[in-house]
Structure 1
């Protein structure tokens, strides 16, 4: 026995199917925008993390340099500094004396 379905029911089902098909592009674009926003957020999080790690590396390098400076033997450093500071001093004084004698021959 065939049963007939009320035209009002078929119309309601048809309208709901049309509604779903009509909303599909908007739902897809919403999903795309949400995915892009999430990916951009992760991008910024990674950038901040990389910047923090770079700052930590810079601080560690500066700390190592300071530790090497402080670990030098102070007397050896003072002696080396004195040698560097006095290298060429007698030659410079002799040149200055020669120039002064040119201007004042007495």
Structure 2
């Protein structure tokens, strides 16, 4: 968390971090998700010193979006990203699967 953050933002950060870890994210990734989310909310509410255009003009907050944009892109995650997720989940037969098969096996 940035220095000078309010107690509310500190609690928010810890809550988001804990939720991400419970979903199976690594501690480092959970911290990154929490920091990015809290920083975006700080920017939206005018608490941050600087903010990107997308942070201030986005009609939906991160909570309202609920991860709609994560791994979005034109076609979603790459085959390599899907393969890595399948490896972490110990999906049997992943090495011979196509991108579509990996998506199906991961429930996407």
TM-score tier by shorter-chain length is under 0.3
Given the two structures, how large is their TM-score scaled by the length of structure 2? 0.24
Structure with bigger RCO (C-alpha 8 Å, 6+ apart): 2
Structure (1 or 2) with the greater helix fraction:
1
Given the two structures, how large is their TM-score scaled by the length of structure 1? 0.24
